[in-house]
Amino acid sequence: MSEIDWKSLPFGYYKTDYNVRAYYKDGKWSELDVHQDEILPLHMAATCLHYGQEAFEGLKAFRGKDGKIRMFRPDENAKRLLLSANGILMQPVPTELFIEACKKVVKLNEKYIPPYGEGASFYLRPLLIGSGAEVGVKPAKEYTFVVFGGPVGPYFKSGFKPVPMQIVKDYDRVAPLGTGLFKVGGNYAASLRASERAHEEGYSTVLFLDAKEHKYIDEAGPANFFAIKGNKYITPDSNSILRSITNMSLQQIAKDMGMEVERRPVAEEELSTFDEIGACGTAAVISPISKIVDRATGHEFAVGNGTEAGPVSTKLYKALRAIQEGEMEDKHGWNVIID
C-alpha cells in the first residue's frame, strides 16, 4: 500500500477490506462470516443499545524485521473478553474462535500491515454485543461478535515524548465494586467529560483517583498508571482498574531486567517521590508523563526533566517493541506468528 503515509498515520479508524463476524443463537456460536460491509444490522431493542451489554478488546499485529507478521498476546485478550462477558452476563466467546477471528482479519487485510520500521502497527478491535431484542432489564439471548482492524500510528500525537496529565476529583470513572476491571464501553463513556475538559485545558490525559476516598491512583484515562522509583516498577493494585496486557507485559520485562515489581495502592502524595511516571496500554504502549497537576488544588508534581522520557521507561518501551517486532527473543512466547 505505497499510497499510505505510514509515518503520519493517526490513531483512528482506517477502512480496510474485510471484517469477520460470528453469531450466538439457539445456544451455539456460528462459523465465522467474512464481510466487506462496515454496517451492522441491529434490532432497535438490542440489549447493547439499552442496557450496555457491550465489551471490546484492542490488540496489535506487527510486521517484523524478518518480514513475518506477529500478533501480540491474543490469548490474553481472549481471556479479558471472557472476563468482561461474564462480568455483564454476555455469552463468552471461546478462545479458539477469538484467535481464529483475529488471525483471519490480519490475513485478509495483510496489505494494510505497516512495513517494519515505520513506527506504525495494525490495530485489531474485537467487539462483543448483545444483539438480541429485550425490553425488560435482562441479558440478551443472542450475541454478535465482530473483529475489524486497520493501520494506526501513535495514540498520543507526541509519540514517545512526555505529556502533561491532570488529576480530576470531581468526576469518577467507575464505582467501587463496579465494572472498572471489565473492558466495557460504559467505563469509557463515564470518562469522556473529564477527558475532553482536560484536553481543552492543555492536558493529554486525565488521572482518576479511587472513587471511594479520592486518595489513591486509579486509571490514567485510557491507560494504566505506572511509576519508576529506583529499581522498582510500581503500579496500582485495585479491583476497579482494567487489567492491561501491556502493563502485565512491562511488569515481566521489568523483572527480566532485574527490577522489583510492586502492585499496591499508590497514594496521590507519593507522586512527588517517583523518578519516572507513565501511562501504558495497547494503544499508547508507553506514554511518559512530564508533569501531573491536581485540578482541585493546583498542586503540580513535576516528573523528570519534562522534555525526554526517563531512562527506565525508554528501556522498557524499546524492549517491548523489540519483542513485538521480532528484534528480540520472545522467550515468554507472547507472539503468534501469522502464517
Question: What is the residue-wise DSSP string for 124-193?
Answer: EEEEEEE-SB-SSSS--S-EEEEEEEEEE--SSTT-SS-EEEEEESS--SS-TTSSTTS-BHHHHHHHHH
Please answer whether residues 293 and 299 qualify as being in contact, where contact means their C-beta atoms are separated by less than 8 angstroms: yes
Name the stretches of the chain with pLDDT < 50. Answer: none
Please answer whether residues 35 and 20 qualify as being in contact, where contact means their C-beta atoms are separated by less than 8 angstroms: yes
Largest CA distance in the chain: 59
pLDDT at 302: 85
Please answer whether residues 114 and 60 qualify as being in contact, where contact means their C-beta atoms are separated by less than 8 angstroms: no
Distance of CA 47 to CAs 55, 119, 289, Å? Answer: 12, 39, 39
Which among 183, 212, 215, 331 is annotated as catalytic?
183
Q: Of 115, 104, 123, whose CA–CA distance to 18 is shortest?
A: 104
DSSP secondary-structure letter at 217?
A: B
pLDDT at 65: 92
41 class by beta-carbon count within 10 Å (0-12 exposed, 13-18 middle, 19+ buried): exposed
Q: How many CB atoms lie within 10 A of CB 178?
A: 17
Distance of CA 169 to CAs 39, 181, 191, 216, 268, Å? Answer: 38, 20, 12, 11, 11
pTM over 0.85: yes
| Residues β-bridged to residue 9 | none
pLDDT at 155: 79
Write the CB contacts of 275 (distance below 8 Å, at least 6 apart in sequence).
227, 228, 229, 230, 304, 310, 312
Beta strands in the chain (DSSP E): 19-25, 28-29, 33-35, 54-56, 59-63, 69-72, 121-130, 143-152, 163-168, 205-208, 224-229, 232-235, 260-263, 276-281, 285-294, 300-302, 335-338
Q: How far apart are CA 2 and CA 113, in angstroms?
A: 12
Examine the residue annotation and report whether 315 is marked as an active-site residue of this protein. Answer: no
pLDDT at 174: 94
**Joined grid coordinates for residue 270:** 507519593
pLDDT at 2: 64
Summarize pLDDT for 156-210 with one digit per residue, the tens. Answer: 766 688 999 999 999 999 999 999 999 999 999 999 999 999 999 999 989 999 9
Q: How far apart are CA 128 and CA 184, in angstroms?
A: 10
Please answer whether residues 69 and 337 qualify as being in contact, where contact means their C-beta atoms are separated by less than 8 angstroms: yes
pLDDT at 157: 67
DSSP secondary-structure letter at 235?
A: E
pLDDT at 1: 60
| Residues β-bridged to residue 100 | none
Say which amino acid occupies 301.
F
